[in-house]
Amino acid sequence: MSSDVILQTFGLGKRYGKRWAVRDLDLTVRRGDVFGFLGPNGAGKSTTIRMLLSLIKPTAGHVDLFGRSLQKHRSAALRRVGGLVERADFYSYLSARRNLEIVASLRGDDSHTDIDRVLDIVGLTARAADRVKAYSHGMKQRLGIAQALLGGPEFVVLDEPTTGLDPQGIKEVRELIRQLSQSGTVTIFLSSHLLAEIEQTATHMAIINKGTLAVQGRVADLLAAGPHLVRIDARPLDRAVDLLRAVPGVERAEIVDAWIECAAHPDSTPLLTRQLLEGGMAVHAVIPRRSLEEYFLAITEGASDVHVPGESGARKEDRP
């Protein structure tokens, strides 16, 4: 994988009135990455993507695409980019094909083979002549993905591409992203508010919360980073905690909401369980939890003081 930078943002910020929707955002996406952009509702994902596609002007900072300023080389950059921001909206009184023709002509090439190709990718060939008015939400979303792929862009930006899709559609999008990324030449930036979705498709990710970057890095690194948590339900709780604290490798064990939270190395889970059983405890559940998941759940649930896993290690630029 070559390491040339496709997208870089420098101190990117957008303020609406007095509130910063996005602030001090430094992102780096390299060629061939599948970059997951994760954040709860209102985190600033769509706002960021609008700035990447030059729909809105940053209040602070700037965006570089393909190593050049987006502001200065807008057309040249956007020629190599395909994007979908928020809801997929079209001219509802025109057919799907006519909509794609309009988009394609703005890219300067409206070859029918390319339109057929993208319609086929999203499985809308049979309905291409229908007016978009008659499309279901999921079909519009598919058409939205199709228009982002017109002209074979090098950089594809998708804002929550799976919203509104049925399970089959979600699977297809995941498969599509995999196929696109396997070519090695297409770089994908996709936002989501589901960690599981990013985990399954992305190679790199960033988590944004309340407009600011929390972590950024390789998905594998981030998921492994930080202390590993195990949630245990073993009775009686207080005696189980004492037993666990005595186990070598356990950094911490405490009762939280009628559960025991135990920070330990992932390999020590069998040892923990054996100790509890040998101590005569009634073990109801042992659930390993990765700290990133905990962390992400905490921010989506709006917990105030959250610990950022691997903050010292994985934060911002930390790549091989």
Partner 1 sequence: MKSILGNEIVKTALKWRSYISFLTIAIIIPLIDVGLLFEKGGWARGMTRGLASDFLIVGNIKNGFFITYFILNALWIHVPFLITLGAGDQLAGEATGGTFRLLLTRPVSRSYILFAKYVTTLVYAGALVVFMGVLSLALGTALFGTGDLLVPGRDLTILAESDVLWRMAAGIALATWGMCTVASLAFLFSSLVENGIGPIIGTMAVIIVSYIIGNLPVELFTAMKPYLFTTYLDLWAKVFEDPVPWETIRHSMLVLGGFSVGFYAVTWYIFQKKDVLS
Examine residue 193 and tell whether it contacts ligand ATP (CB under 6 A).
Answer: yes
Size of the site for partner 1 (CB under 8 A): 33
User: By the 8 A CB rule, do 9 and 25 touch?
Assistant: yes
Residues 99-158, interacting with partner 1 (CB under 8 A): 99, 102-103, 105-108, 110, 147
- Which of 235, 231, 198 shows the shortest CA–CA distance to 217? 198
Based on the shown chain and the rule CB under 8 A, indicate whether residue 48 belongs to the binding site for partner 1. Answer: no
18 token code pair: 């007095």
Residue 43 binding ligand ATP, by CB under 6 A: yes
Strands of the chain, DSSP E: 5-16, 19-25, 28-30, 34-38, 60-65, 68-69, 81-84, 155-159, 187-192, 204-209, 212-218, 229-235, 250-256, 259-264, 282-289
CB of 43 to ligand ATP, least distance (A): 4
Region from 39-47, 71-79, 285-293, 312-320 binding Mg ion, contact rule CB under 5 A: 39-47
Interatomic CA distance for residues 1 and 34, integer angstroms: 12
Sort 82 into a burial class: Cβ within 10 Å, 0-12 / 13-18 / 19+. Answer: buried
23: contact with ligand ATP by CB under 6 A: no
Q: Which residue is nearest to Mg ion (CB)?
A: 46
Residue nearer to ligand ATP on the CB measure, 52 or 281: 52
Report the partner that residue 39 touches, choosing among partner 1, Mg ion, ligand ATP, none (CB closer than 5 to 8 A by kind). ligand ATP
The contact set with partner 1 (CB under 8 A) reads 50, 53-57, 74-79, 81, 83, 85-87, 89-94, 98-99, 102-103, 105-108, 110, 147
